Amino acid sequence: MMVETQLLIKIYGSKERATHSAEILIENELKELEAAAEVSTSKDDWLTLKIEGEDAEFASNFLVQKYGAPTTRTKNGSVHKGFIHKIEEDRIEVDIGMLVTIPKSDLNFFGAGNAQQIASRFGMIRYLPVEIEMSDAGELKARFTKKQADAFWELKKSKLDHVVANSVTKSELKAAIKKTKHGKDIYGIERLGLMEHMITCREGTDGPGIVAAIGKYLNGDLAVIKAN
């Protein structure tokens, strides 16, 4: 039996690196099942799987339930996970399987400034995984869910700086931190997605300083959420 499915996982940047990470991830997820997956990428950069084996259908359902799937079907109030696609002065675009727009008027919860200034303050960069709620499905307009908005504010109000690192593997991030001898300056690394991570700095550690140090060793995108 063979089942083809797409997961809400973006393959971008160094696609060879990202695909290798995806292969390891999926192999680990399926190791207890009678199923094996061939990994590829759609034209929209979504992780695509061809799953074969006795448990193929179960494996597909399990993976979609855990990681989600791109969608082109929405309605007012529907909640979707996706990735920030573009940040402009008057809006943030999020890819959920199609592009939806969060207009500046729906970012007022984050304080003053245009969308780019707000994004910079809260560590929002391209490919950051986020959760949105459709506010006008006909116009493909959305807002961040309350849960997502509160999570951004929780980081901002923290006593600790945080660094968002996209388009890098966790091993690459750890290697850069080790190479720059900043291991003592961070609490840990949280995996947000396949190639998306968040570093939590220790109290008194300057997030921009961490970015300046490790950035030269990483071919990825970095952003800082400065503690208030």
Going by C-alpha positions, the residue among 95, 142, 93, 139 that lies closest to residue 119 is 93
Please report the pLDDT score of residue 117 as a whole number.
Answer: 97
Dihedral angle, C-alpha 45, 115, 167, 189, nearest 10 °: -130
So what's the pLDDT on residue 1? 85
At 228 the pLDDT is 81
Angstrom distance (rounded) from CA 104 to CA 101: 9
**DSSP assignment letter at 214:** H
Average pLDDT, 10 consecutive residues per value, the chain (228 residues): 95 91 96 94 95 96 96 96 97 98 96 96 97 96 97 95 95 94 95 96 95 94 93
Domains and CATH numbers, the chain: 2-67 (3.30.310), 79-152 (2.40.50), 158-225 (3.30.70.100)
